[in-house]
Amino acid sequence: MASTKKADVDAVVIGAGFAGLGMLYRLREQLGLSVQVFETGDDVGGTWYWNRYPGARCDSESYIYCFSFSDELLQDWNWSGKYPEQPEILSYLQHVADRFDLRRNIQFETRVTAAHYLEDDNLWRVETNLGEVVHARFLISGIGCISTGNVPDIPGRDSFKGDSFHTGAWPHDGVDFAGKRVAVIGTGSSGVQSIPVIAEQAGHLTVFQRTAQYTIPARHGTVDRRFLDEEVKPNYTELLEKARRSAGGIPVDFSERLALEVSDEERNAIYEAGWREGGHRFIFGSFRDIMANLDANHTASEFIRNKIRETVKDPNLVAKLVPTDHPLGSKRALIDTNYFETYNRDNVALVDLKTDPIECITETGIRTASGEFDVDIIVFATGFDAMTGSFFKMDIQGRDGARLKDDWSEGPKSYLGLQVHKYPNLFMITGPGSPSVLSNMPVSIEQHIEWIGDLIAHMRDEELDVVEAQAGAQAEWVTHVNDVASQTLYMHANSWYLGANIPGKPRVFMPYAGGVGAYRAHCEAIVDDGYRGFTLGRPAAQVASEHAAGG
Ligand code: NA7
């Protein structure tokens, strides 16, 4: 006989970053549902709560790094920087939480440890590290794509007697680098942002680089008030719509030019202009085939290599800093402030781990093949177990005893990055298989929030209790995600998109590389087709028990 357990709330949402806050607002204010949010931190913010390392900043321009659900919020909020810095994004999210009275449904300092689908009850049983248990009809993950830090298991790591920090778990009261000998391991986004700032504060900085990077000057500055007041605020509706239909979730026009169709002089002048303007405009504003064609890409990659050669004075450092093993953009495209210039400082040294690998961490520092580097502080800018790591920290079980860890052991499988077959009523906001990390995140997050909200509203209207991705639709989507990725330059590098940064992680391209606009259109077509690929209905157990009771 079917159980009669009741839901404590309509939905449990995990995480109180952009995704969790937006989902809570949508479900509570627009659908009138009861919602319980669990958040590990002691405040809202997600990524921007944890990543407080020096120089932490978003690569999207501030005017488009925001929620769009409230016109008043869009008009009232004024960013101060062209690229929003971590403290300001955190203030923004705190403001959103206060303005819309979101905190009352968020339980802080609480981690979801397990979530089991109870088939007889059609409920998710959600358990926390505090031993609490909540039953909910829907379970929605807003856990972020890059939220489980990767601190490499280097021999002797725990023997280090100095201080060590991962950039994604930075102390709230900061780190005093003054006069200290500091090691930074890693030159991804977090390393490239923090290295110039730490170099200014530290006595001495040694950077341990595994892969040399392309990075483009951000040309960060204060926000252009005229641009904001005259071009952005009166036109937010159109700008946001353009962002939603774009490739990367930003409202810009890509150049129509092809890199190999212009003369060398013209091409160089265009790159120079892009370099002066800075940021990702260097890529999308110059030629449309840089990210699609290896020969075109080579011209841009070589332009940046020449900039490194011009900027860095020591030829030994140039040889280490010039990237030669992957094309521009095949790892995450980086933007920086004074990154290469920093290597001209007297107090900065660089160790190339390709030729001089780390052997171990000692009580006093880092030992490589060539010698010992004594330091007071080690900064691990070594990235994240992206996209799947945070799911695997929870024991997620679907119907028929399915375990997410097992079902994703060869790489994540989902339908649209939104749902997983065998996990009814579980939704992922920007899960693997959606554009997520290849886009301006708030735009992708909001699309999922709206889509999930619309589906739940549809289910309520139609008196349907359960929704589950079909196996066939999921398999087709996974194939499509792989096919699209295989046609891109992303396959030419060892990146965290492919899980290559985590030893033993399956090498599968996790986000959807088809673009935000194309993805959105796909999601809309599926809805127009009666939620094609999803099974919507009433729980089998409930129907069976009604039959048995003559209902
Ligand atoms: P990333 O981009 O994953 O960068 C991590 C860096 O750490 C990268 O240079 C790695 O080298 C390096 N790394 C990782 N493991 C090791 C070990 N074991 N030894 C030496 N070096 C290592 O993380 P970030 O935090 O910088 O950025 C994450 C995202 O946050 C970013 O893309 C934005 O979306 C925001 P590798 O390149 O793998 O050789």
DSSP string of 392-416? HTSEEE-GGG-BHHHHTTTS---BT
With contact defined as beta carbons under 8 Å apart, do 13 and 142 qualify? yes
Report, as an integer, the average pLDDT of 179-185: 98
| Segment 73-116, tens digit of pLDDT | 999 999 999 999 999 999 999 999 999 999 999 999 999 999 99
Long-range contacts from 224-228, C-beta under 8 angstroms, 24+ separation: 224/82, 227/63, 228/63, 228/78, 228/79
pLDDT value at residue 48:
98
Q: Using a 6 Å CB cutoff, which residues line ligand 1?
A: 146, 152, 167, 185-191, 210-211, 332, 353, 381-384, 437, 496, 501
Atom of ligand 1 nearest to the CA of 168: 25
Q: Best substitution site from 59, 60, 382 to test ligand 1's pocket, by max atoms within 8 Å of Cβ?
A: 382
- Tell the residue nearest (CA) to atom 3 of ligand 1: 383
| Segment 252-277, tens digit of pLDDT | 999 999 999 999 999 999 999 999 99
pLDDT value at residue 187:
98
Token pair recorded at residue 348 = 């900065």
Q: Best substitution site from 146, 210, 495 to test ligand 1's pocket, by max atoms within 8 Å of Cβ?
A: 210
Q: Enumerate residues 6+ apart whose C-beta is below 8 A from 78.
A: 223, 228
Using the predicted structure, report yes or no on whether residue 542 has a pLDDT greater than 90: no
In the reported structure, the alpha carbon of residue 495 is separated from the centroid of ligand 1 by a whole-number distance in angstroms of: 8
With contact defined as beta carbons under 8 Å apart, do 347 and 204 qualify? yes
Q: What pLDDT band is residue 551 in, cutting at 50, 70 and 90?
A: very low
Report, as an integer, the average pLDDT of 18-27: 98
| Segment 188-224, tens digit of pLDDT | 999 999 999 999 999 999 999 999 999 999 999 999 9
- Tell the residue nearest (CA) to atom 30 of ligand 1: 189
Distance CA 74, CA 62 (A): 11
Adjacency order of strands within the sheet including 377-380: 163-166, 377-380, 181-185, 204-209, 348-352
In the reported structure, the alpha carbon of residue 383 is separated from the centroid of ligand 1 by a whole-number distance in angstroms of: 4
Atom of ligand 1 nearest to the CA of 167: 25
With contact defined as beta carbons under 8 Å apart, do 394 and 115 qualify? yes
Q: What pLDDT band is residue 538 in, cutting at 50, 70 and 90?
A: confident
Distance CA 305, CA 312 (A): 11
pLDDT value at residue 541:
66
pLDDT value at residue 549:
65
Distance CA 265, CA 296 (A): 15
In the reported structure, the alpha carbon of residue 196 is separated from the centroid of ligand 1 by a whole-number distance in angstroms of: 16
